[in-house]
């Protein structure tokens, strides 16, 4: 932040999919189910799997889209939207935001296929418990920063989540 360096989108994502904490939150919840996870299940759904990477991508990008304006006001230039703009010179903020939303939707589509493929090795409740990490992120950040919003806004967000599709 102090150097005002804006990394490439790829550079940014390498660091931030870890910093969003989706792996910790998701796997804490999954392990609290009380079921045993086999090595095969963990290879498909575990913390180091493509499945978990996609959940982290959805969480990070949903957060960045919702909080971009606030972070720019705070002087944070390295966000998914900012890095997208860096990688696409001449791109407007609106175009960059739309581009990042497209990346979220692509990750969600791939996640759906990964969920489908996981049925061969993991009970459905396990894979659904893990994929709910991405659903929770989209819920919290669909219209605004759901972690710092007032109760009335959270209620509207919950109603939107409960009755409308994520994508």
Give the tens place of pLDDT for each residue, 85-120: 999 999 999 999 999 999 999 998 998 888 888 777
Q: Is the pLDDT of residue 4 over 70?
A: yes
pLDDT, average across residues 124-150: 66
Cβ within 8 Å of residue 36, ≥6 positions away: none
Interatomic CA distance for residues 60 and 80, integer angstroms? 8
Q: Is the pLDDT of residue 143 over 60?
A: no
In percent, the amount of the chain with pLDDT more than 70 equals: 84
Q: Is the pLDDT of residue 148 over 60?
A: no
Give the residue among 103, 142, 105 at the shortest CA–CA distance from 9.
103
pLDDT, average across residues 116-133: 74
pTM of the entire structure? Answer: 0.76
pLDDT at 161: 65
Interatomic CA distance for residues 145 and 132, integer angstroms? 18
Other CB atoms within 10 Å distance of the CB of residue 155: 11
Instruction: Report the chain's mean pLDDT, rounded to a whole number.
Output: 79
Q: Are 57 and 13 in contact (CB under 8 A)?
A: yes
pLDDT at 101: 93
């Amino acid at each position: 932040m102090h150097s005002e360096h804006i990394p490439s989108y790829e550079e940014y994502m390498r660091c931030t999919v870890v910093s969003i904490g989706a792996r910790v939150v998701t796997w804490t919840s999954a392990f609290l189910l009380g079921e045993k996870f086999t090595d095969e299940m963990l290879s498909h759904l575990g913390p180091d799997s493509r499945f978990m990477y996609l959940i982290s991508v959805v969480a990070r990008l949903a957060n960045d889209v919702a909080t971009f304006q606030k972070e720019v006001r705070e002087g944070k230039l390295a966000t998914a939207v900012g890095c997208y703009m860096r990688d696409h010179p001449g791109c407007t903020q609106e175009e960059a935001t739309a581009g990042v939303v497209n990346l979220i939707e692509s990750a969600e589509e791939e996640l759906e296929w990964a969920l489908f493929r996981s049925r061969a090795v993991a009970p459905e409740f396990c894979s659904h418990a893990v994929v709910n990490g991405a659903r929770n992120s989209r819920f919290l950040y669909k219209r605004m920063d759901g972690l710092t919003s007032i109760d009335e806004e959270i209620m509207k967000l919950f109603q939107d989540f409960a009755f409308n599709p994520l994508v």
